[in-house]
Amino acid sequence: MGTSAKTIIYDSAKRGSPAIEELRDIFQYRDLIYQFVRRDVVTRYKRSILGIAWTLIQPLGMMVIISLVFSQVFNRVEGYPIYLLSGLITWTFFSQTTSATIHQMVWGGVLLKKIYLPSTAFAVSATGTGLVNLTISLAPLLILAAINHIPLNSSLLFLPVSMLLLATFSLGLGLLISTLAVFFPDIAEMYQVALLGWMYLTPIIYPANVVSEGMRAWFTLNPMYYFIQMMRAPIYEGTLPPLSIIQTGAVIAISTLVIGWIIFSNKSDEFAYRA
């Protein structure tokens, strides 16, 4: 890149493993990822009067309303609003980044047909944008936690690890499903329905102990169960998540990304062929 005197040679007959090539390309285009994330964060509120302040006001308002509504239902749970919101921002991140990735690959492939760029750029930047939004929504949440007398302590320092593993899983799943969705656009619609069902199968709104002992075993098959716990423990309980949760979560996250990345990059040559 840039003004280097080295002659660039591209030979379609001498390409290595698609997954590795894609990794190298996306690293070369890292400034593009930054530009995409910046564009998505900046333009979202650009025409409103309060501008960037909305990134704080909007989640705060939503949090207040949702916690008021559900507090009536689950009034036995101590500090319920924080229990709910710590799970909800995790879920929102997950559903928004995966949906954005799928949407951009299915409907936003226009750029891919115009100029060369690594196809994972869309998924990676959607995840980056999600991380920015998640970080921003942590601020009002922590304020609410303080108001609700939830003790905030040093376990919060673990949050970046939780967020990173959550992002790894979301990116991997987004890549997997968007590969399918490029070939079968119906998958994109099906995924929206699946997301709704998946959300209610995950203990986000209700506490895990409202379901019977036998049912609770099923939670361990739900990947999001681990990431929600990892986000919730430091915020709501003021503790580090159990080691077993971290380990299982890390294995799920990393293997999903590796599988998703390999499948996506092996199919990415065909994306530009799709109408």
Partner 1 sequence: MNLPTAPDADSMTETSQNDRVVLLENVSVRYRAPEERIRSFKEFAIRFIQRRVRFKEFLALDDINLEIQPGEIFGIIGRNGAGKSTILKVISRVLVPTHGRVWIKGRVSPLLELGAGFHPELTGRENIFLNGALLGHSRQDIQERMDDILEFAELGAFIEAPIRSYSSGMTGRLGFAVASAWEPEILLVDEILSVGDEAFRIKSRKRMEYFRSLNATTVLVTHQMKTVEELCNRVAWIERGKIRIIGQPKEVVKAYLKG
Binding residues vs partner 1 (CB under 8 A): 1-3, 7-14, 28-29, 31-32, 34-36, 38-39, 42-43, 46-47, 111-117, 180, 184, 186-187, 269, 272-273, 275
Angle CA(58)–CA(56)–CA(132) in degrees, nearest 5?
105
Contact in structure between 256 and 175 (CB atoms under 8 Å): no
CB of 172 to partner 1, least distance (A): 20
Between 152 and 274, CB nearer to partner 1:
274
Q: What angle do CA 85, 72, 96 make, to 5 degrees?
A: 30
Q: How far is the CB of 155 from partner 1 (least distance, A)?
A: 36
Question: How far is C-alpha 263 from the chain's CA centre?
Answer: 19
Q: How far is the CB of 109 from partner 1 (least distance, A)?
A: 11
Nearer to partner 1, 73 or 272 (CB): 272
CA atoms within 13 A on the CB side of 269: 8
Least CB distance to partner 1 at residue 230 (A): 32
Structure tokens at 175: 């890549």
Which phi and psi (to 5°) does residue 99 adopt?
-65, -40
* Beta carbon nearer to partner 1, 13 or 221: 13
**How far is CA 2 from its chain centroid?**
32
Q: Which is nearer to partner 1, 110 or 221 (CB)?
A: 110
SS3 106: helix
Cβ 100 to partner 1 shortest distance, Å: 16
In the complex, minimum distance from the CB of residue 264 to partner 1, in angstroms, rounded to a whole number: 15
Apex 28 CA angle, 24 and 32, nearest 5: 125
Do the Cβ atoms of 112 and 245 come closer than 8 Å?
Answer: no
Q: How far is CA 195 from CA 58, 61, 113, 218, 232, in A?
A: 22, 23, 29, 17, 20
Name the residue nearer to partner 1 (CB basis): 26 or 150: 26
Residue (78 or 270) nearer to partner 1, CB: 270
Q: Residue 10 or 213: which CB sits closer to partner 1?
A: 10
Nearest distance from C-beta of residue 238 to partner 1, angstroms: 40
Answer for the pair 264, 119: CB distance below 8 angstroms, yes or no: yes
What is the SS3 assignment for 239? coil
